[in-house]
Amino acid sequence: MTKNRTLLADTGHPVGVRVRMVLGLVVLVTACAVWGPGLFQGAEGSGVSSKPARFLLAAAAVLGASHLLGALMRRWRQPAVIGEILGGLLMGPSALGLVWPDATAWLFPAQVLAPLGLAAQLGLVLFMFLLGSELRTDQVKGPGSTGVVVLGAMGVPFVAGAGIAFLAADTLTGRAGHSTASVLFFGLAISITALPVLARILVDLGLARSQVGVSALAVAATGDGAAWTVLALILANTGLSGFASAWTTPCLALALLLVTVFCVKPALAALERRARGNGPVLLAVLVVGALSYAAVTELIGLHAAVGAFLFGTAAPRGSEAVERAGRRLRGFVVTVMVPLFFAQIGLSTSVTVLGTDPGGWVLLAVVLVAAVGSKVAGAGAAARLMGMSGPEALRFGILMNCRGVTELVVASIGLQYGLVSDAGFSILVLVAIVTTAVTGPLLRVLAAREAARVPSAARESVSLTPP
């Protein structure tokens, strides 16, 4: 008991520091929730504006909760991103809103939600730029076999998700109605694999350089590129762009793609050669370009995230200067901006929309089972067809089942465009969390079973502990 108390109280321990900080933040937020209305509205009748203070307090609460839970998840051998996502959910109607609705209403009033939403969109745009800039499909070996595995890993869950959306359209589709776009969107959301989270899991489990790990990264990278292309096509054909012709958005998107390939990409390569020694200038150009592309795609009827991702794919590959600029940007985006996006997701997610009717929860179970089963079976069967052994193919299928942040991004876009209902959105969020959380434990169980079958001298070859 003394040892545990010392560990928690040790100010040099990262989790101990976070616990102290967040406990202090909880006390502060509680005090503000009790006495805040008088404090933030100023003296009687003065009408003092409190918007900046309310926004800053909400942002502090979100960041504190996200990073505390992220640290706890790492201690429990889970990706930190799961805790950061849960931190956002805890602030929303699914947790704090049920236990203490007055606190949620006070912490996130309409005057806070608007700037919080804008900050979340900025974080999403910058994150998507980073994702695009780190997408290394140029290093994929054996494109033919990779394409076959991508087809299995994405095609089977795509069909499963689209089939469920077609049969349960009244519950899952949004204000866009029971349209082909809504059905295709839900299929795409189910077929996603989260490349950033997958890469982190592989490093944590010591599989990054294994055959299964390298193959999983190659397939996830190729699949991510394909997924965002398909999403752009779906959004272009929703008819929600405001243009008179349904062909306007696809034509403008094609024109932007051609400009990116033949003009922007060579220009960025030339700029990188000139600005290698001037990191701040290069970083500024990349950020300005990402924001500009995001604005353009938003204006032509696609989501801003698509434009930021497209600009990221145009960034020079293998450039130390670009990678250095990306590291500078990533620290701020991942630490500060992305948790605000998770908070927006959490405030939009409510398990109560599934209702007290068992039908909603049965639908959640069906979607979850279909998502896991179709992903593991489709990816595993394709990997087996390409020459992997049975255990390797099963491990590969489990890795591809990790959906993480990418599915949350796709789900939020679908909610914004009315392609998915509130209930459908909540289901996709829960599927993303569960499938990401079970990836590591399932791989450890498989490794333990394999280790029990091999001689003790060979156990190191199947260990999941990094060297």
Residues 224, 193 contacting (CB under 8 angstroms): yes
Q: Is 285 exposed, middle or buried (0-12, 13-18, 19+ CB in 10 A)?
A: middle
Segment (H or E) for 284: helix 279-299
Is residue 293 very low, low, confident or very high in pLDDT (cuts 50, 70, 90)? Answer: very high
**pLDDT of res. 248:** 80
Query: Which residue did the predictor score with more confidence, 235 or 356?
Result: 235
Is residue 279 very low, low, confident or very high in pLDDT (cuts 50, 70, 90)? Answer: confident
At a CB cut-off of 8 Å and minimum separation 6, what does 15 contact? 8, 71, 72, 75
CATH pick for 116-462 out of 1.10.287.1080, 3.40.470.10, 1.20.1530.20, 2.30.30.30 = 1.20.1530.20
Give Cα 296 distance to the centre of its chain. Answer: 22
Q: Is 38 exposed, middle or buried (0-12, 13-18, 19+ CB in 10 A)?
A: exposed
| Average pLDDT score over the chain | 82
**pLDDT of res. 424:** 93
Residue 52 pLDDT more than 80? yes
Mean pLDDT to the nearest integer, 4-31:
50
Whole-angstrom Cα distance, residue 448 to residue 124? 38
Place of tokens 């050669």: 273
In the chain, where are the structural domains located? 2-108, 116-462
pTM: 0.82
Residue 167 pLDDT more than 80? yes
Place of tokens 């990409």: 265
Report which residue type is found at 117.
G
Residue 333 pLDDT more than 90? yes
**pLDDT of res. 96:** 84
Mean pLDDT to the nearest integer, 43-71:
76
Dihedral of CA atoms 10, 15, 18, 20 in degrees, nearest 10, equals: -40
Is residue 6 very low, low, confident or very high in pLDDT (cuts 50, 70, 90)? Answer: very low
pLDDT in tens, 352-365: 777 767 888 999 99
Whole-angstrom Cα distance, residue 169 to residue 274? 53
Whole-angstrom Cα distance, residue 35 to residue 113? 21
**pLDDT of res. 425:** 94
Distances (CA, A) of 166 to 101, 162, 163, 195, 331: 35, 6, 5, 28, 41
**pLDDT of res. 311:** 96
Whole-angstrom Cα distance, residue 26 to residue 304? 34
**pLDDT of res. 399:** 94
Q: Is 429 exposed, middle or buried (0-12, 13-18, 19+ CB in 10 A)?
A: buried
pLDDT in tens, 168-205: 998 998 776 668 889 999 999 999 998 888 887 887 77
**pLDDT of res. 43:** 42
At a CB cut-off of 8 Å and minimum separation 6, what does 54 contact? 40, 109, 111, 112
pLDDT in tens, 428-437: 999 999 999 9
**pLDDT of res. 179:** 80
Query: Which residue did the predictor score with more confidence, 237 or 303?
Result: 303
Place of tokens 């990054």: 208
**pLDDT of res. 343:** 85
**pLDDT of res. 454:** 63
Mean pLDDT to the nearest integer, 112-132:
92
Whole-angstrom Cα distance, residue 390 to residue 380? 8
**pLDDT of res. 318:** 82
Helix (H, G, I), strand (E, B) or coil at 76: coil
Distances (CA, A) of 374 to 211, 229, 273, 459: 22, 22, 45, 31
**pLDDT of res. 346:** 86
Query: Per residue in 179-193, is it b (16+ CB within 10 Å) or e — as a string?
Result: bebbbbbbbbbbbbb
CA-based R_g, the chain, Å: 23
Residue 260 pLDDT more than 60? yes
Residues 131, 224 contacting (CB under 8 angstroms): yes
**pLDDT of res. 466:** 43
Q: What is the DSSP letter of 334?
A: I
Residue 18 pLDDT more than 60? no
**pLDDT of res. 432:** 94
Give Cα 398 distance to the centre of its chain. Answer: 18
Kindly state the percentage of the chain with pLDDT values over 90.
37
**pLDDT of res. 434:** 94
Is residue 61 very low, low, confident or very high in pLDDT (cuts 50, 70, 90)? Answer: confident
pLDDT in tens, 246-257: 678 888 889 999
Whole-angstrom Cα distance, residue 218 to residue 149? 10
Is residue 283 very low, low, confident or very high in pLDDT (cuts 50, 70, 90)? Answer: very high
**Across 163-172, 233-242, 316-325, 415-424, least confident range:** 233-242
Query: Which residue did the predictor score with more confidence, 412 or 175?
Result: 412
Residue 144 pLDDT more than 80? no
**pLDDT of res. 419:** 92
pLDDT in tens, 369-394: 999 999 999 999 999 998 888 889 99
Q: What DSSP letter does each residue of 123-182 carry, written as one string?
A: HHHHHHHHHHHT--GGG-S-HHHHHHHHHHHHHHHHHHHHHHHHHTHHHH--TT-S-HHH
Query: Which residue did the predictor score with more confidence, 25 or 293?
Result: 293
Residues in the chain: 467
